[in-house]
Amino acid sequence: MKKPVLTTAGGHPVSQNQHSLTAGSRGPLLMQDMHLVEKLAHFNRERIPERVVHAKGSGAYGTFTVTQDITRFTRASVFAGIGKTTPTFLRFSTVAGERGSADTERDPRGFALKFYTDEGIWDIVGNNTPVFFERDPLKFPDFIHSQKRDPRTGYKNPIRMWDYWSRAPEAMHQITILFSDRGIPDGYRYMNGYGSHTFSLWNNGGERFWVKFHFKSMQGIKNLPPEKAAQLAGSDPDYAGRDLFEAIEAGQFPRWKMMVQIMPELDAERQSFNPFDLTKVWPHNEYPLQEVGILELNRNPENYFAEVEQAAFSPANVPPGIGYSPDKMLQARLFAYPDAARYRIGVNYQSLPVNRPLNQVTAYHRDGGMRFDNNGGRVDNYEPNGFNGPAQDESVTEPPLRIRGDAFRYDAHRENDDFTQAGNLYRILTGEERERLTDNIAAAMRGVPAEILRPNIEHFLRCDQDYGLKIAAKVGIKL
């Protein structure tokens, strides 16, 4: 039976639903990819009123203090001198669960950090993992749908999840992390955070460097065994949020050491892997971690709704000296995150106290729902103008972003190794950690038909033979 043709909401046939339109195989996305724009815009409006992802969360205020000088890499004022401090707000979250879900589910944890710098808001919207399940944003709504509730039954179904992953080998690295011991952190204080994406830094000399941001927990790493996590899900579903709040109230302020990996701009073209691929990590022996500063959380919000629920983050918020990269997932999030916030909270969401920068805002935006200031008063709202209104400042011009290649929907699976880094992670685990990892995966596969299990096991075998053989044995699949 012939399958129906996939169309846009306007009925136009879709030529490609696997690969976004980019300038070159590694290049940035093109806004003319309206199938991607429509897909993300619709996805952001599927739930009312909670966040589509990261719905359940907790947050706290704190400070970031510079401990090492990196001004040779960036002119960003947040790093302008050892000892400089910047106020921050950090929101932790689970990803797939609804607002009423348990804090102890096996799920990545959101790590969304807002810096109130003296040159505007800087948001790092990351997770507690250095990689993600997808490298192409065109597939993000599909992936999340596979993790959400079955549209017919209303409950979550592991068949949907493993059926999707059987066709998504790029997820293997993140799957290995998710089902390892670190898949269920013991609260938010005992886990690392990562910017995950590749960003860029640029200095006063117009030089650009690629960068990865890491936040290493100074409390150490603690994880929950599945049995304890299940018990807490029933007895204390707000376990992680409660632990964070009560620790700060007691003066036990959690801290993270901010580290960076720096890659010279032209090094990206010489790598055997795509350094802008969100499913990959950079080797630490080539690009070692460098300490930058200390993040400390030291003040709880006064009102959960006003300060945690209404907090909105966007990787598009970068001050001068920090920039983007050709990372396809990052490029889509530059659009999707503020778009989601405008829908969820309103077009003036950045005027809310928790989202407002500390420096003065001098924009020409006017009107819109929930405009609760003087709406710009009598000052007109166009530029250029003859009344001495705010004007551009060319001194903060970012250096050109190098791109190359023709616009096309490039197949990122072709000649891309989705298995070695996941296998490397498996091979550094202890024997006991490997047993727990494969036990967790086998348990999550319970009830999944053999025809879906087999292609998944093939993926694990390609990561590491022992990895795949253990899972096959535990789910009763004969190879």
What's the farthest any 2 CA atoms get from each other in the chain?
A: 78
DSSP bridge pairs for 124: 113
Residue type, 420: T
Residue type, 413: H
Strands 193-194, 199-202: pairing is unpaired
Phi, psi torsion values for 111, nearest 5 degrees: -135, 85
Choosing from 19, 35, 44, 127, which is the catalytic residue? 127
204 tagged catalytic: no
How big is the CA angle at 290 (ends 289 and 292), to the nearest 5 degrees?
135
Distance CA 341, CA 361 (A): 19
Choosing from 19, 54, 173, 197, which is the catalytic residue? 54
Q: Which two structure tokens, joined as six digits, stand for 173?
A: 């690295």
Distance CA 116, CA 84 (A): 13
145 tagged catalytic: no
What end-to-end distance do the CA atoms of the chain give, in Å?
A: 31
Give yes or no for a contact between 244 and 187, defined as CB atoms under 8 angstroms apart: yes
408-444: b (≥16 Cβ within 10 Å) or e:
ebbebeeebebbebbbebbeebeeeebebbbebbbeb
- Closest Cα to residue 49, out of 301, 348, 310? 310
Coil, helix or strand for 105? coil
Which residues are identified as catalytic?
54, 127
